[in-house]
Amino acid sequence: MSNETDASRAEESAFVARLVARDESAYNELFELYERRVFGLVFRMLGKRSDAEEITQDVFVQVFRAIESFRGDSKLSTWLFRIAVNLSKNRMKSNARRGAGRELELDDVAERNAFSAAVGVSVGRVRRPDETVETEQLEALVRRAILELEPEHRQLVILRDVEDLSYEEIADVTGLALGTVKSRIHRGRAQLREHVERMMTARKRRPTE
């Protein structure tokens, strides 16, 4: 395992060196490797496609401008996520100040990042009051319920249960203490279940057309 880790680090170090050298093909590779994941992360945090597309582009612009500052203390993907999270948080604050409405467009994200691949916010984590609900419908409810979480919980649930980052990686991305990360994820998951179950109950009670 150690040899594999060392080899992976050496490979990433060589890749970063190409980025620092302004190797255009390296930037194309970086975009192909991470654009979908960065977009999915940002989209789930913001819930608006136009914002997510703009922020995703900004992430890679920042990487281009600041790659020399990357010291390899964390994985390159962790660094990208840190930039994406910070830019998303700034956009959320800006939208809140302007009173901008949030457009629920999360069905679109399924085309780019399959939500069924999420690790921790899967169907199995939610008590289903109606077993006849289709999996796709439930996943749509989960996507919307995530947007109802407080931002401080939302970003952590997405990083852990959708992007499958470790608690340590999330602490690195967010700058939070490890204990804070774990407690907020626990609270976020509990809130998420409550939101989904409430939505499912409301759907069950809706008169049949």
Shared domain check, 198 and 176: yes
pLDDT digits 0-9 by tens, 89-98? 999 988 888 7
Shared domain check, 160 and 95: no
Shared domain check, 126 and 68: no
Shared domain check, 202 and 150: yes
CB 80 within 8 A of CB 138: no
CB 74 within 8 A of CB 80: no
CATH code for the domain in which residue 138 is found: 1.10.10.10
**What is the per-residue pLDDT for 1?**
56
How many angstroms separate the CA atoms of 122 and 124, rounded?
5
Q: Please tell me the pTM assigned to this model.
A: 0.77
Token pair recorded at residue 49 = 């496609």
Question: Is pLDDT above 90 for 82?
Answer: yes
Shared domain check, 56 and 126: no
Choosing from 68, 86, 111, the residue where a domain stops is: 111
∠ CA 117-203-201 to the nearest 5 degrees? 90
Q: Report the domain count for the chain.
A: 2
Shared domain check, 118 and 194: yes
Shared domain check, 14 and 63: yes
**What is the per-residue pLDDT for 104?**
52
Shared domain check, 157 and 67: no
Shared domain check, 131 and 80: no
Question: Is pLDDT above 70 for 102?
Answer: no
Structural domain of 205: 114-209
- Percent of the chain having pLDDT more than 90? 56
Shared domain check, 104 and 130: no
Question: Is pLDDT above 60 for 72?
Answer: yes
pLDDT digits 0-9 by tens, 145-187? 998 999 889 999 999 998 999 999 999 999 999 999 999 999 9
Shared domain check, 62 and 154: no
CB 37 within 8 A of CB 48: no
Shared domain check, 202 and 118: yes
**What is the per-residue pLDDT for 129?**
46
CATH code for the domain in which residue 40 is found: 1.10.1740.10
